[in-house]
Chains A and B, each alone.
Chain A
Amino acid sequence: MESLVRKYQQKYRKVEGEMKRWDELQSRLLSHFGSASSIIDRLEVLREKKNYGGLTCVDGVKEALLGKQLETLERIFSTMKDILKQFQSIVVSLDKISKDGSQLSKSESTPSSCRMKIGIKPSLAECVEGLKMIHEMHQSEYLLKVSLISALTWNTSSREIAGLNQFLADQPNISKDEVQGIFGVIFAEEN
């Protein structure tokens, strides 16, 4: 029983690593999103011939500047897609950990022992549940990110962008408190 709990704790360490990777990706995603949105704002200014002031006399300047900005934007979009793929790989990995976790409890214990708690050690059911919840949060959050990023195009208005950015930064599906609570239960002895 005790060794079983230890096996779960190892799984949680793995989950921790994946979540750390998630956070790194999140900050990269936000910074690329920020660059994309400032380019999109800029496009609006660049589209107006009257804004070129002293550069108006240079033939092709508008086309060249817009072209360059769109090129950069394209590059940022593709980087963000890449980042989303990495988010997905984390979701897949969390899914696997969670499935392995429920398999482990099924093969190594009986339904009654599953809920049993010895001292402050977590019950097996708690171990399994926690993994499942963490996976679900990240999966929903991943799906939200995919739809937010796909809503961003070169003609999204600044107001919409601000809204998208808010959601992207907040990560409403991932409750830090809840995650912390789960880890608190699993590693209760260590605290």
Chain B
Amino acid sequence: MESPVSHAGGEEPEARTPVVSSGTNLVAGSQSSSRSRLWRPAAQRNLRNQWSRLVSCRGRWVSASSEGRASATALVNAYLSRRYMPEMNLGVLKDMPMIRENACEKLERKQELCQRKLLSSYKDLVDAVSQFTKARDSMRCYLKGSSASPLVQFSQLSQDNDDPGDGGGVPVFTSWALPYFEKLAQELIDMFAVEISLKRLIVLQLLSIACQDAQGAQADERNWSIELYEGEFNDLNTVDLLCRERFQPNPPRIRGFQSNNPATEQINRNPTRETLHVYLTAWISDVNVDIMRVDEIFGMVEDEMQLKLS
């Protein structure tokens, strides 16, 4: 039977807690070891749930990202077709009255529709990442009620400041203490959150593509420090992407690069074909997400839990 030996550096999976049977303080020892005995299954169950949640959030990310890609591509195509409409060779159709105007109008509606869809995919992405953080914040397992009570129950909410919810640092499954699971979840969040900020910039650029001069005024108002949808900043706050002093999103950056450049105000309303190509490439690349590492993390967790997460 393991006793709750707290050990420094509980985040290191290598630092295994030796399984010691504490016999020095019989009363406290037996009481705490029975609590620990009950704590582990509860903590295991909870961690399994939270990590399954992470797996499904990742799936949501992937599908939102690919929907976003489809909308962005359609948007770009609609915009380019409209832009090249005046020079387009329409063959026998060229004499039809209003044909170019009608086609342009239709393409413009298409563009607007795609912009709305793209925005909703972006919202889904933000939502997926904020679910990530919720899972990370629900990994601990706290004792519920008084410790004197014969009935031992557990909860994900802390009720007692003395209870860190980590079972005193014992290995939850095989060898990792609870904080290590949180650390891995955080590593995932860091990657996806940075990617959100880059995607936000792409969305901002694509939403700002000129529709018609008349409607331009509305599009003009878009810039980095204005919410793209209602409640966006709240969501960004949950994933730590909001600069609280200035109440605007942190500037977009690439993982591994320090971005001090806040010049995100450059909005190009008439981007070239090549620039749009770069935007689309940037969208699909997920440059801030190291897929191999993500797979590795989920794989490691599965090994530690000895089960397949789904």
Contact = CB atoms under 8 A, between A and B. Distances in A.
Interface of A: 42, 45-46, 48, 51-61, 63-65, 67-69
Given A54-B201, A57-B263, A65 B281 contact: yes
B267 to A, nearest CB: 6
Q: Which are the 10 A-B pairs with shortest beta-carbon distances?
A: A60-B257, A53-B275, A60-B254, A54-B205, A51-B274, A64-B287, A57-B263, A68-B285, A59-B257, A64-B254
Contact of A57 (B256, B261, B278, B279): B261
A134 to B, nearest CB: 42
Contacts of B277: 42, 45, 51
Given A45-B274, A65-B287, A55 B205 contact: yes
B202 A58 contact: no
B178 interface: no
Contacts of A42: 277, 281
A54 B254 CA distance: 15
Nearest to A72: B285
A68 B287 contact: yes
B272 A51 contact: yes
A55 B281 contact: no
Nearest to A39: B281
A45 B201 contact: no
Contact of A55 (B258, B274, B279, B288): B279
B287 A54 contact: no
A69 B282 CA distance: 10
12 contacts: A42-B277, A45-B277, A46-B281, A51-B277, A53-B275, A54-B204, A55-B279, A57-B264, A60-B254, A64-B254, A65-B285, A68-B285
Contacts of A54: 201, 204-205, 264, 266-268, 271, 275, 279
